[in-house]
A and B are shown apart, each in its own frame.
Chain A
Amino acid sequence: DVKVTQSSRYLVKRTGEKVFLECVQDMDHENMFWYRQDPGLGLRLIYFSYDVKMKEKGDIPEGYSVSREKKERFSLILESASTNQTSMYLCASGWTANTEAFFGQGTRLTVV
C-alpha cells in the first residue's frame, strides 16, 4: 500500500511564527504536491515538485515556500503565519499520466 504521511494531524501556531509541515512518501514517487482545503473552495494547489530540488508554483503560492531535499520528503513552509492561512493542508504524491495521486491524512492548522 502506498503511504503518504504528514507529520502532524493538528497544529496551532501564533501569527508571525514560521511553520513547517512535513510530508513523507514511501513509494519512490517523483511527483509530490501540497494542497489546502477550505470549505466551499475545494482543494487548491499551493506548490508541487516533480523531482528532488525542483519545485513549481501552484495556484496559490503566496505566503508559502517548499523544500524537497530528498525524494521521499516534501516540506511546506509558512514563512510568517497569518490567520488567513488557517486551513486543512493535504500532501499528495504519485499521479503520473496514468495513475491517481495518493493523499496523506491532512494537517489541520490553526493560526491564532
Chain B
Amino acid sequence: ELKVEQNPLFLSMQEGKNYTIYCNYSTTSDRLYWYRQDPGKSLESLFVLLSNGAVKQEGRLMASLDTKARLSTLHITAAVHDLSATYFCAVDFGNEKLTFGTGTRLTIIP
C-alpha cells in the first residue's frame, strides 16, 4: 500500500525555537512536495524535492529528502508566529497521482 505518514500531527512550539516535521513514505520515490495551508485557505506550494539529497531553503524553513530512508524533513528555525499553519507533504509514487500525508498543524506561541 502506498502511504505517506507525517509526524507529529499537532505541534505547538514557542517563538524562537527550532523544530522538525517528519514525512515518511512507504515505497520508492524521489519526488516529494511540501505545501502550506492557512486556516480556511487553500494549499500553497513551498518546496519541490526531486532527487536524493535535495535540500531547499526559504526563510526559516528548510526541506530535505533522503530517498534511501524514504524520509523528508521540514526544519523550522527560530519560529515566528506567521509560520503557524498546517504543513503537508505529498509524494509522487509514479502512478500519476500525488499521495498526501495527513498534515501537521503547527501553532507558534509567544
Q: Is the CB of B102 within 8 A of A45?
A: no
Chain B min CB distance to A97 (Å): 7
Q: Of B45, B96, B97, B103, which is within 8 A of A102 by CB? A: B45
Q: Is the CB of B97 within 8 A of A48?
A: yes
1/0 contact string of A46-63 vs chain B (CB within 8 Å): 001010000010110000
The reply to whether the CB of A76 lies closer than 8 angstroms to some CB of chain B is no
Contact-size category for A? 20 to 34
Complex formed: what's the CA distance from A108 to B10 in Å? 23
Q: Is the CB of A42 within 8 A of B101?
A: yes
Contacts from B to A (Cβ < 8 Å): 4, 9, 31, 33, 35, 41-45, 48, 50, 88, 90, 92, 96-103
Question: B residues within 8 A CB of A41?
Answer: 102
Complex formed: what's the CA distance from A44 to B96 in Å? 14
Contacts from A to B (Cβ < 8 Å): 33, 35, 40-45, 48, 50, 56, 58-59, 90, 92, 95, 97-106
Complex formed: what's the CA distance from A42 to B100 in Å? 7
Measured CB to CB, the nearest residue on chain B to A6 is B42
Q: Is the CB of B96 within 8 A of A42?
A: no
Q: Is the CB of B33 within 8 A of A100?
A: yes
Chain B min CB distance to A51 (Å): 12
Complex formed: what's the CA distance from A44 to B50 in Å? 22
Chain B min CB distance to A26 (Å): 16
Question: A residues within 8 A CB of B33?
Answer: 100-101
Q: Is the CB of B96 within 8 A of A48?
A: yes
Chain A min CB distance to B74 (Å): 15
Q: Is the CB of A40 within 8 A of B102?
A: yes
Q: Is the CB of A45 within 8 A of B48?
A: no
Q: Is the CB of A103 within 8 A of B42?
A: yes
